[in-house]
Amino acid sequence: MRFSRIFRHRFHWTSGTRIDGVAADDRRSRSLSKRTTAPWDCPLPAGAWERMKRGYRPESMDDRWVVSFTGEDKVVFARSWTGAPIVEIQVAAGDHPRIVAVAWEGDGSVWVGGSEQSAKELVVQLYGWMV
């Protein structure tokens, strides 16, 4: 999957704010209850990693996702209402940053239909919707 088309737009990024009673820091500290991981070699366009590290806060109740940077080259995609992390991506930063791994919630009671393909598609879709 290529991110070039998605990442060329500006994001509405904020961090450290409270949404629906769950602080952004609380989301970063939660972990996937049944972690499933896979490698993912996906280059990021110039500037995308810096924008991703800023995180994303929903602008309305219709936005169902929060994106948080953990400070460990990891970005967490969590449900905005519950704060439950659903997908995480690990990024190899540097001159040419790239996503090197994806992890997702393997507990079907938390994320129904979670799979490697679903996790990757979710990452791409969320960024597409947010821009």
CA-angle at 8, arms to 117 and 75, nearest 5°: 50
Say what the pTM is. 0.76
Write down the domain spans for the chain: 4-130
Across 6-20, b (16+ Cβ under 10 Å) vs e yields: bbeeebebeeeeebe
Q: Note the pLDDT of residue 32.
A: 95
Three-class DSSP category at 59: coil
User: pLDDT (tens digit, 9 = 90+) per residue, 75-127?
Assistant: 999 998 889 999 999 999 989 999 999 999 999 999 998 999 999 999 988 76
Q: Note the pLDDT of residue 44.
A: 87
10 Å CB burial of residue 67 (0-12, 13-18, 19+) is buried
C-alpha 59/C-alpha 89 separation (Å) is 23
Confidence class of residue 128 from pLDDT cuts 50, 70 and 90? low
- CA-to-CA separations, 1 to 41, 53, 119, in angstroms, rounded: 9, 20, 12
Confidence class of residue 29 from pLDDT cuts 50, 70 and 90? low
Amino acid letter, 94: G
Q: Do 125 and 4 form a contact (C-beta atoms < 8 A)? A: no
pLDDT above 90 for 42: yes
> Would you give the DSSP letter of residue 56?
B
At 120, list the tokens: 């990757």
Average pLDDT over residues 59-63: 80
